[in-house]
Structure 1
């Protein structure tokens, strides 16, 4: 099968596309014929090996997992002997190992059936971004109906889902984005949109929950716009070889230690129940995917370069 692989850490230039063996199927595995795979910041960190602490998991000198991609949508090709809920021919989406390929393997509890009313590209984009959004808002931000939620970086992969999910939870939503994305973000359900090129969301405003995908404001600025009992949920931050996005997370957690305000950082956890929630919302039209660009597998390196710019509108997708 054809796959996009990286045998060493580096820029997208180290990615090659070629023939490798099809993955084997264990007793509790599902083999998926990939129709689409999403590009995530996770893939960039695994590709570059930065920040350096990720190598404790991904491999000290070289990547342990050479095929990139963890978000998949496709058709079940085969299942292991212990798989009971899914079968050959089922259309599915969820998390997999090595999704930038013609075939990928996933555990049964990381996949759910794809709604018939959305494309494989739309389904592939969901998992990591929507899990991050829902768990950031519901589990860590503990958002409640009627609260005022701010989404910084509302036009990106996580942000586009976060705007919709915050609205689903009954919050009043303020979204921060650039001029070109104002109409799109408003169409997703934002009650208020702040164009960061001409306005400052930290001035004369107060929020109960801030979901920050960018990490581009200092702690003093964030404190002045966070309600006295508010929660700052930090997901993104500046790139860096040693700490990377963790820099903003460390500053925030240290900076909010005094008083009732709190800062939270987390890594999204795989959850089949959350995937089932997304399936239901997608099926009902209450959640939708925004896709920036779809690249063929041969251009996987270009897809990662696009992600590197930090200005993708919604999600970037690769198709084999």
Structure 2
């Protein structure tokens, strides 16, 4: 099969289209023909091997060479074959999954427990925009933020992949939502449900005078004291991301916030989708919300499979509203 293989850390030019052996599913796995995938910061952090701190952390990107040769954390496609212990799927089923690797190839093997039926009202391209970003937003709001109907929620970084899902999920849970984004994306964020918009190019949310029950911080880059200033005394601050850096960031931003948690009245948590053990259950929850019309994926651009390096380079610029999607090669 064809796959983009990462043989050394570096720029998107290190993603080389190669002929590799097609994987064979184990007893508890399904072989999925990839119809679409998406690009996100998770992919280019592994591609660049940054921050350097991640190279020595457990489960990190790899010390001297990439630990994951075929990136692509999101998969939407069709079941091609199944292992002997698989009972939920059969060849031809349309599925989607957060695989953490393999989406930049024509086929990928996934554990049955990771896979969910594709929402019936989405195309493969739309479905590929969902798994990691929407799962992260769901964990941030429901699990770590413990959002309740009637609460006031602030989403900092509301126009990106995670942010657009966070806005919609907060509304689906009955919250009053304020989205922080640039002015050029204000109409988009309002169209997906935000009740109020703060244009960060004109206004500082930390000095707005408002108080929120939950701050979901996707963009990062602000001091914890600034973020706490806008929270109610018993509010919650959930860290999703932060400014990228070569050595420590965004890990340093996240760890600094978590280290202060025992000393402040607000609850401080991190939305860690990679270590979440309920991705299939979360995908089923998201499917219900998608098919019920409560959330939709926002897609900025779609690239063909042959232009995956260009798609990664575009997403790495950090200006895409919503998701960057790649259509499959077949």
- With normalisation by structure 1, the TM-score equals 0.96
Give the alignment of 1:206-221 within 5 angstroms: 206-221=211-226
Q: Does 1:277 align with 2:288?
A: no
Partner of 1:24: 24
- Unpaired runs of 5+ residues, structure 1, are none
1:123 aligns with 2:143: no
Structure 2, unaligned runs of 5 or more:
none
Q: Within 5 A, what are the aligned runs for 1:226-245?
A: 226-245=231-250
- Over the residues paired in the alignment, what is the CA RMSD in angstroms? 1.3
Q: Which of 73, 93, 100 lines up with 1:90 in the alignment?
A: 93
Separation in 2, partners of 1:79, 1:123 = 21
Matched residue, 1:163: 167
> 1:2-21 alignment to 2 at 5 Å?
2-21=2-21
The answer for the alignment partner of 2:37 in structure 1 is: 37
Correspondence 1:1-320 to 2 at 5 A:
1-55=1-55, 56=57, 57=59, 58-96=61-99, 97-203=101-207, 204-268=209-273, 269=276, 270-319=278-327, 320=329
User: 2-side partners of 1:179 and 1:148: how far apart?
Assistant: 21
Which ranges of 4 or more aligned residues in structure 1 deviate by more than 3 Å? Answer: 254-257
**Residues 152 and 211 in structure 1, CA contact (< 8 A), matched pair in contact too:** yes
CA contact (8 A) 1:94 1:111 kept: yes
Tell whether the 8 Å contact from 2:98 to 2:279 is kept in structure 1 after alignment: no
Give the CA deviation at 1:289: 0.3
Q: Is the 8 A contact 1:4 1:297 kept in 2?
A: no
CA distance in 2, matches of 1:200, 1:86: 49
SS in 1 for 2:206: coil
Q: 2-side partners of 1:95 and 1:215: how far apart?
A: 24
Does the residue aligned with 1:202 lie in a helix, a strand or coil?
A: helix
Tell me how far 1:101 sits from its aligned partner: 1.1
- 2:199 and 2:245 mapped to 1: Cα distance? 26
Q: Is the 8 A contact 1:46 1:54 kept in 2?
A: no
TM-score (norm 2): 0.94
